[in-house]
Amino acid sequence: MPAGENAASAPSLSGDQFTPTLSPSFIAYVRDYLLDRQIDPLPLFAACGLPDSMRNELDPPLPITDICRLFTHTARELRRPYFGLELSQGYHFEAASLLILAFMSAPTVRDAFGTLLRYDKYVDTAIETRLTGTGGLSCFEVNLLAPHGCDTEHLSEYLMGFIVHSLRKSTRMDLPVSRVAFTHTTPKPLRILEAAFDARVVLGSRQNALHFDEAFLDTPQYTANALTYDVTVKALRSHFAPSGHNGNFMQAVHRQVLLQYKNGTPTVTSIARALQVSARTLHRLLAEQGVRLQDVKNRARAERARFYLRQTNLPLKEIALELGFSELSAFSRAFKSWTGETPQTCRDVGEPRIH
Protein backbone atom coordinates (compact mmCIF):
# COMPACT_ATOMS: atom_id res chain seq x y z
CA MET A 1 0.00 0.00 0.00
CA PRO A 2 1.32 3.53 -0.74
CA ALA A 3 3.23 5.09 2.13
CA GLY A 4 1.18 7.25 4.46
CA GLU A 5 -2.12 5.66 3.47
CA ASN A 6 -4.43 3.85 5.85
CA ALA A 7 -7.11 1.31 5.12
CA ALA A 8 -9.86 2.68 7.35
CA SER A 9 -13.32 1.41 6.55
CA ALA A 10 -15.02 3.03 3.60
CA PRO A 11 -18.22 5.00 4.26
CA SER A 12 -21.51 3.18 4.03
CA LEU A 13 -22.79 2.68 0.50
CA SER A 14 -26.35 2.04 -0.54
CA GLY A 15 -26.93 0.00 -3.67
CA ASP A 16 -24.56 -0.18 -6.64
CA GLN A 17 -22.68 3.09 -6.45
CA PHE A 18 -20.42 2.44 -9.43
CA THR A 19 -22.29 1.83 -12.67
CA PRO A 20 -20.20 2.68 -15.76
CA THR A 21 -22.34 4.75 -18.12
CA LEU A 22 -22.27 6.42 -21.53
CA SER A 23 -24.04 9.44 -22.89
CA PRO A 24 -27.37 8.69 -24.64
CA SER A 25 -25.82 10.47 -27.63
CA PHE A 26 -24.53 7.03 -28.64
CA ILE A 27 -28.12 6.09 -29.43
CA ALA A 28 -28.33 9.04 -31.81
CA TYR A 29 -25.16 7.91 -33.59
CA VAL A 30 -26.70 4.53 -34.35
CA ARG A 31 -30.02 6.10 -35.30
CA ASP A 32 -28.34 8.39 -37.85
CA TYR A 33 -26.36 5.50 -39.30
CA LEU A 34 -29.57 3.54 -39.84
CA LEU A 35 -31.55 6.47 -41.25
CA ASP A 36 -28.74 7.21 -43.71
CA ARG A 37 -29.34 3.72 -45.07
CA GLN A 38 -33.15 4.10 -44.98
CA ILE A 39 -33.46 1.50 -42.23
CA ASP A 40 -36.14 1.96 -39.58
CA PRO A 41 -34.25 2.13 -36.26
CA LEU A 42 -37.25 1.36 -34.04
CA PRO A 43 -37.26 -2.47 -34.39
CA LEU A 44 -33.53 -2.69 -33.64
CA PHE A 45 -33.86 -0.33 -30.69
CA ALA A 46 -36.91 -2.17 -29.35
CA ALA A 47 -35.07 -5.49 -29.55
CA CYS A 48 -32.42 -4.00 -27.25
CA GLY A 49 -34.97 -2.41 -24.90
CA LEU A 50 -33.90 1.11 -25.83
CA PRO A 51 -36.18 4.00 -26.83
CA ASP A 52 -35.28 6.03 -29.91
CA SER A 53 -36.40 9.16 -28.05
CA MET A 54 -33.41 9.03 -25.63
CA ARG A 55 -30.83 10.86 -27.69
CA ASN A 56 -30.22 14.17 -25.91
CA GLU A 57 -26.88 14.37 -24.14
CA LEU A 58 -28.63 15.81 -21.08
CA ASP A 59 -30.94 12.78 -20.88
CA PRO A 60 -30.00 10.26 -18.18
CA PRO A 61 -26.84 8.30 -19.04
CA LEU A 62 -27.10 4.64 -19.97
CA PRO A 63 -25.13 1.63 -18.72
CA ILE A 64 -22.31 0.70 -21.08
CA THR A 65 -23.90 -2.74 -21.37
CA ASP A 66 -26.97 -1.20 -23.06
CA ILE A 67 -24.88 0.62 -25.66
CA CYS A 68 -22.68 -2.39 -26.37
CA ARG A 69 -25.77 -4.56 -26.76
CA LEU A 70 -27.17 -2.09 -29.32
CA PHE A 71 -23.89 -1.97 -31.26
CA THR A 72 -23.51 -5.75 -31.28
CA HIS A 73 -27.14 -6.44 -32.19
CA THR A 74 -27.10 -3.89 -35.02
CA ALA A 75 -23.85 -5.30 -36.43
CA ARG A 76 -25.24 -8.82 -36.34
CA GLU A 77 -28.66 -7.98 -37.79
CA LEU A 78 -27.17 -5.92 -40.64
CA ARG A 79 -24.30 -8.36 -41.14
CA ARG A 80 -21.77 -5.56 -40.80
CA PRO A 81 -18.65 -7.00 -39.10
CA TYR A 82 -17.00 -3.57 -39.19
CA PHE A 83 -20.05 -1.72 -37.91
CA GLY A 84 -18.15 0.33 -35.30
CA LEU A 85 -15.63 1.52 -37.87
CA GLU A 86 -18.36 2.38 -40.40
CA LEU A 87 -20.26 4.26 -37.70
CA SER A 88 -17.21 6.40 -36.93
CA GLN A 89 -16.58 7.23 -40.57
CA GLY A 90 -20.18 8.34 -41.12
CA TYR A 91 -20.41 10.52 -38.00
CA HIS A 92 -22.77 13.51 -38.34
CA PHE A 93 -20.69 16.47 -37.16
CA GLU A 94 -23.65 18.79 -37.71
CA ALA A 95 -25.37 16.99 -34.82
CA ALA A 96 -22.27 16.76 -32.62
CA SER A 97 -22.44 16.90 -28.84
CA LEU A 98 -20.96 19.77 -26.84
CA LEU A 99 -17.82 17.78 -26.17
CA ILE A 100 -17.22 17.00 -29.84
CA LEU A 101 -17.90 20.61 -30.83
CA ALA A 102 -15.27 21.70 -28.31
CA PHE A 103 -12.88 19.01 -29.56
CA MET A 104 -13.21 20.11 -33.19
CA SER A 105 -13.06 23.87 -32.49
CA ALA A 106 -9.92 23.69 -30.31
CA PRO A 107 -6.87 25.55 -31.69
CA THR A 108 -4.54 22.55 -31.98
CA VAL A 109 -4.64 18.79 -31.76
CA ARG A 110 -3.04 19.02 -28.32
CA ASP A 111 -5.83 21.34 -27.16
CA ALA A 112 -8.43 19.00 -28.65
CA PHE A 113 -7.07 16.03 -26.72
CA GLY A 114 -6.78 18.17 -23.59
CA THR A 115 -10.44 19.13 -23.81
CA LEU A 116 -11.48 15.51 -24.30
CA LEU A 117 -9.40 14.34 -21.35
CA ARG A 118 -10.73 17.13 -19.16
CA TYR A 119 -14.46 16.74 -19.72
CA ASP A 120 -15.25 13.24 -20.98
CA LYS A 121 -14.86 11.93 -17.44
CA TYR A 122 -18.11 13.74 -16.57
CA VAL A 123 -19.99 12.79 -19.74
CA ASP A 124 -18.98 9.12 -20.12
CA THR A 125 -18.04 7.47 -16.84
CA ALA A 126 -17.50 4.12 -18.58
CA ILE A 127 -14.59 5.54 -20.60
CA GLU A 128 -11.21 6.33 -19.12
CA THR A 129 -8.76 8.12 -21.41
CA ARG A 130 -5.09 8.95 -21.04
CA LEU A 131 -2.48 10.63 -23.25
CA THR A 132 1.17 9.74 -22.68
CA GLY A 133 4.36 10.28 -24.62
CA THR A 134 7.82 8.78 -24.81
CA GLY A 135 10.59 8.58 -27.40
CA GLY A 136 8.83 10.89 -29.85
CA LEU A 137 5.62 8.85 -29.82
CA SER A 138 2.30 9.70 -28.19
CA CYS A 139 -0.14 7.07 -26.99
CA PHE A 140 -3.85 7.82 -26.60
CA GLU A 141 -5.37 5.10 -24.41
CA VAL A 142 -9.03 4.26 -23.98
CA ASN A 143 -10.07 1.94 -21.18
CA LEU A 144 -13.68 0.72 -21.29
CA LEU A 145 -15.10 -0.21 -17.89
CA ALA A 146 -17.35 -2.98 -19.08
CA PRO A 147 -18.58 -6.00 -17.08
CA HIS A 148 -17.37 -9.48 -17.93
CA GLY A 149 -19.27 -10.85 -20.92
CA CYS A 150 -20.02 -7.42 -22.38
CA ASP A 151 -18.96 -7.39 -26.04
CA THR A 152 -17.02 -4.14 -26.55
CA GLU A 153 -15.64 -4.94 -30.02
CA HIS A 154 -17.77 -2.53 -32.04
CA LEU A 155 -17.69 0.24 -29.43
CA SER A 156 -13.89 0.05 -29.22
CA GLU A 157 -13.51 0.19 -32.99
CA TYR A 158 -15.95 3.08 -33.13
CA LEU A 159 -14.04 5.13 -30.54
CA MET A 160 -10.62 4.58 -32.13
CA GLY A 161 -12.03 5.17 -35.61
CA PHE A 162 -13.80 8.33 -34.50
CA ILE A 163 -10.61 9.92 -33.13
CA VAL A 164 -8.71 9.24 -36.35
CA HIS A 165 -11.61 10.29 -38.60
CA SER A 166 -12.18 13.53 -36.65
CA LEU A 167 -8.52 14.55 -36.66
CA ARG A 168 -8.24 13.88 -40.37
CA LYS A 169 -11.15 16.25 -40.91
CA SER A 170 -9.91 18.92 -38.51
CA THR A 171 -6.28 19.00 -39.70
CA ARG A 172 -6.75 17.98 -43.34
CA MET A 173 -3.93 15.52 -42.70
CA ASP A 174 -3.55 11.81 -42.11
CA LEU A 175 -2.89 11.09 -38.47
CA PRO A 176 0.63 9.55 -38.42
CA VAL A 177 -0.44 6.36 -36.64
CA SER A 178 2.19 3.65 -36.20
CA ARG A 179 0.06 1.11 -34.33
CA VAL A 180 -3.53 0.62 -33.16
CA ALA A 181 -4.25 -1.73 -30.26
CA PHE A 182 -7.58 -3.26 -29.27
CA THR A 183 -8.52 -5.26 -26.19
CA HIS A 184 -10.87 -7.58 -28.06
CA THR A 185 -10.05 -10.47 -30.33
CA THR A 186 -12.02 -11.27 -33.46
CA PRO A 187 -11.93 -13.86 -36.24
CA LYS A 188 -12.62 -11.24 -38.92
CA PRO A 189 -9.73 -10.23 -41.21
CA LEU A 190 -7.69 -7.24 -40.01
CA ARG A 191 -6.95 -5.87 -43.48
CA ILE A 192 -9.96 -3.50 -43.46
CA LEU A 193 -9.04 -2.12 -40.04
CA GLU A 194 -5.40 -1.73 -41.05
CA ALA A 195 -6.42 0.03 -44.27
CA ALA A 196 -8.72 2.38 -42.36
CA PHE A 197 -6.05 3.33 -39.82
CA ASP A 198 -3.16 2.99 -42.27
CA ALA A 199 -1.28 1.24 -39.49
CA ARG A 200 -0.61 -2.14 -37.94
CA VAL A 201 -3.50 -3.40 -35.81
CA VAL A 202 -2.88 -5.54 -32.72
CA LEU A 203 -5.64 -7.46 -30.91
CA GLY A 204 -5.88 -8.74 -27.35
CA SER A 205 -4.03 -5.77 -25.81
CA ARG A 206 -4.47 -4.48 -22.28
CA GLN A 207 -5.94 -1.16 -23.49
CA ASN A 208 -7.40 0.25 -26.67
CA ALA A 209 -4.67 2.60 -27.88
CA LEU A 210 -3.47 4.77 -30.74
CA HIS A 211 0.29 5.23 -31.10
CA PHE A 212 1.28 8.20 -33.25
CA ASP A 213 4.01 10.76 -33.88
CA GLU A 214 4.14 13.14 -30.90
CA ALA A 215 4.89 16.14 -33.16
CA PHE A 216 1.35 15.82 -34.56
CA LEU A 217 -0.02 17.21 -31.28
CA ASP A 218 1.12 20.71 -32.26
CA THR A 219 -0.72 20.60 -35.60
CA PRO A 220 -3.28 23.42 -35.93
CA GLN A 221 -6.89 22.47 -36.61
CA TYR A 222 -8.58 24.07 -39.62
CA THR A 223 -11.89 23.64 -37.81
CA ALA A 224 -10.63 25.85 -34.96
CA ASN A 225 -13.05 28.58 -33.94
CA ALA A 226 -12.22 30.69 -30.89
CA LEU A 227 -15.82 31.73 -30.20
CA THR A 228 -17.24 28.22 -30.59
CA TYR A 229 -14.50 26.80 -28.42
CA ASP A 230 -15.05 29.39 -25.69
CA VAL A 231 -18.84 28.92 -25.69
CA THR A 232 -18.76 25.12 -25.71
CA VAL A 233 -16.10 24.87 -22.99
CA LYS A 234 -18.13 27.23 -20.79
CA ALA A 235 -21.22 25.10 -21.44
CA LEU A 236 -19.32 21.93 -20.52
CA ARG A 237 -18.21 23.54 -17.29
CA SER A 238 -21.73 24.68 -16.54
CA HIS A 239 -23.51 21.41 -17.30
CA PHE A 240 -20.97 18.71 -16.53
CA ALA A 241 -18.05 19.95 -14.42
CA PRO A 242 -18.11 19.65 -10.59
CA SER A 243 -20.74 21.77 -8.92
CA GLY A 244 -21.58 19.76 -5.83
CA HIS A 245 -25.03 19.07 -7.28
CA ASN A 246 -23.91 17.11 -10.34
CA GLY A 247 -24.53 13.40 -9.88
CA ASN A 248 -21.27 12.60 -11.64
CA PHE A 249 -19.12 14.70 -9.31
CA MET A 250 -18.19 11.91 -6.91
CA GLN A 251 -17.54 9.52 -9.80
CA ALA A 252 -15.19 12.15 -11.32
CA VAL A 253 -13.32 12.47 -8.01
CA HIS A 254 -13.19 8.68 -7.70
CA ARG A 255 -11.78 8.39 -11.20
CA GLN A 256 -9.02 10.88 -10.46
CA VAL A 257 -8.15 9.04 -7.26
CA LEU A 258 -7.79 5.78 -9.17
CA LEU A 259 -5.87 7.29 -12.09
CA GLN A 260 -3.44 9.05 -9.78
CA TYR A 261 -2.79 5.96 -7.67
CA LYS A 262 -1.13 4.46 -10.76
CA ASN A 263 1.66 7.05 -10.50
CA GLY A 264 1.70 7.97 -6.82
CA THR A 265 -0.55 9.05 -3.98
CA PRO A 266 -3.38 11.47 -4.86
CA THR A 267 -3.74 14.63 -2.77
CA VAL A 268 -6.35 17.34 -2.50
CA THR A 269 -4.09 19.58 -4.57
CA SER A 270 -3.46 17.04 -7.34
CA ILE A 271 -7.13 16.04 -7.57
CA ALA A 272 -8.32 19.65 -7.54
CA ARG A 273 -5.84 20.51 -10.30
CA ALA A 274 -7.09 17.63 -12.45
CA LEU A 275 -10.71 18.69 -11.93
CA GLN A 276 -9.84 22.35 -12.56
CA VAL A 277 -11.10 23.62 -9.23
CA SER A 278 -9.23 25.11 -6.29
CA ALA A 279 -8.24 22.95 -3.33
CA ARG A 280 -10.58 25.04 -1.16
CA THR A 281 -13.47 24.40 -3.56
CA LEU A 282 -12.77 20.67 -3.58
CA HIS A 283 -12.71 20.61 0.23
CA ARG A 284 -16.06 22.42 0.26
CA LEU A 285 -17.62 20.08 -2.30
CA LEU A 286 -16.47 17.03 -0.40
CA ALA A 287 -17.78 18.53 2.84
CA GLU A 288 -21.17 19.04 1.17
CA GLN A 289 -21.14 15.31 0.41
CA GLY A 290 -20.27 14.61 4.04
CA VAL A 291 -16.94 12.92 3.32
CA ARG A 292 -13.21 13.45 3.80
CA LEU A 293 -10.61 12.82 1.10
CA GLN A 294 -9.44 9.65 2.85
CA ASP A 295 -13.04 8.41 2.83
CA VAL A 296 -13.18 9.07 -0.90
CA LYS A 297 -9.90 7.22 -1.51
CA ASN A 298 -11.10 4.17 0.37
CA ARG A 299 -14.56 4.22 -1.18
CA ALA A 300 -13.21 4.68 -4.72
CA ARG A 301 -10.89 1.73 -4.45
CA ALA A 302 -13.46 -0.42 -2.65
CA GLU A 303 -16.09 0.22 -5.33
CA ARG A 304 -13.66 -0.33 -8.22
CA ALA A 305 -12.26 -3.47 -6.60
CA ARG A 306 -15.79 -4.82 -6.24
CA PHE A 307 -16.46 -4.05 -9.90
CA TYR A 308 -13.27 -5.76 -11.10
CA LEU A 309 -13.76 -8.79 -8.86
CA ARG A 310 -17.41 -9.39 -9.69
CA GLN A 311 -17.62 -8.15 -13.28
CA THR A 312 -14.27 -9.01 -14.90
CA ASN A 313 -11.78 -11.84 -15.12
CA LEU A 314 -8.77 -9.70 -14.26
CA PRO A 315 -6.26 -11.61 -12.09
CA LEU A 316 -6.09 -10.45 -8.47
CA LYS A 317 -2.53 -9.18 -8.92
CA GLU A 318 -3.59 -6.99 -11.87
CA ILE A 319 -6.50 -5.60 -9.84
CA ALA A 320 -4.10 -4.76 -7.03
CA LEU A 321 -1.80 -2.88 -9.44
CA GLU A 322 -4.76 -1.04 -10.99
CA LEU A 323 -5.72 0.20 -7.52
CA GLY A 324 -2.25 1.41 -6.57
CA PHE A 325 -0.96 -1.57 -4.59
CA SER A 326 2.46 -2.94 -5.47
CA GLU A 327 1.81 -6.13 -3.51
CA LEU A 328 -1.21 -8.44 -3.63
CA SER A 329 -0.95 -9.04 0.12
CA ALA A 330 -1.34 -5.31 0.84
CA PHE A 331 -4.38 -5.11 -1.42
CA SER A 332 -5.92 -8.16 0.27
CA ARG A 333 -5.49 -6.64 3.73
CA ALA A 334 -6.95 -3.30 2.63
CA PHE A 335 -9.90 -4.92 0.85
CA LYS A 336 -10.74 -7.00 3.91
CA SER A 337 -10.62 -3.88 6.12
CA TRP A 338 -13.02 -2.13 3.71
CA THR A 339 -15.48 -4.98 3.17
CA GLY A 340 -14.91 -7.66 5.80
CA GLU A 341 -14.11 -10.19 3.04
CA THR A 342 -11.04 -11.28 1.13
CA PRO A 343 -10.85 -10.48 -2.60
CA GLN A 344 -11.07 -14.17 -3.48
CA THR A 345 -14.16 -14.64 -1.31
CA CYS A 346 -15.78 -11.66 -3.01
CA ARG A 347 -15.08 -13.16 -6.42
CA ASP A 348 -16.16 -16.70 -5.48
CA VAL A 349 -19.15 -16.12 -3.22
CA GLY A 350 -20.92 -12.91 -4.13
CA GLU A 351 -21.23 -9.17 -3.63
CA PRO A 352 -19.25 -7.83 -0.65
CA ARG A 353 -20.90 -5.75 2.02
CA ILE A 354 -18.95 -2.48 2.15
CA HIS A 355 -19.20 -0.95 5.60
Domains in the chain: boundaries: 1-17+248-355, 24-60+62-218
* Interval 212-239: pLDDT, tens: 999 999 999 999 999 999 999 998 887 7
Residue that wins the pLDDT comparison between 40 and 244? 40
For 280, counting Cβ atoms within 10 Å of its Cβ (0-12 exposed, 13-18 middle, 19+ buried), the class is: exposed
Does the domain at residues 24-60+62-218 carry the CATH identifier 3.20.20.70? no
Phi, psi of 266 (to 5 degrees): -70, 145
CA distance 237 to 231: 10
Do residues 193 and 82 lie in contact, with contact meaning Cβ atoms separated by under 8 Å? yes
In this prediction, residues 83-88 reach a mean pLDDT of: 97
Closest CA to 115 of 229, 220, 209: 229
Per-residue model confidence as pLDDT tens digits over 17-64:
567 889 889 999 999 999 999 999 999 999 999 876 656 666 788 899
Reply yes or no on whether the pLDDT at 278 is more than 80.
yes
Summarize the chain as % helix, strand, coil (round to 5): 55, 10, 35
Q: How far apart are CA 28 and CA 92, in angstroms?
A: 10
Phi, psi of 139 (to 5 degrees): -130, 120
Closest CA to 67 of 146, 164, 180, 141: 146
Measured distance CA(100)–CA(104) in Å, rounded: 6
Identify the architecture of domain 1-17+248-355 in CATH.
Orthogonal Bundle (1.10)
Please report the pLDDT score of residue 61 as a whole number. Answer: 84
What is residue 301's predicted lDDT score, i.e. its pLDDT? 87
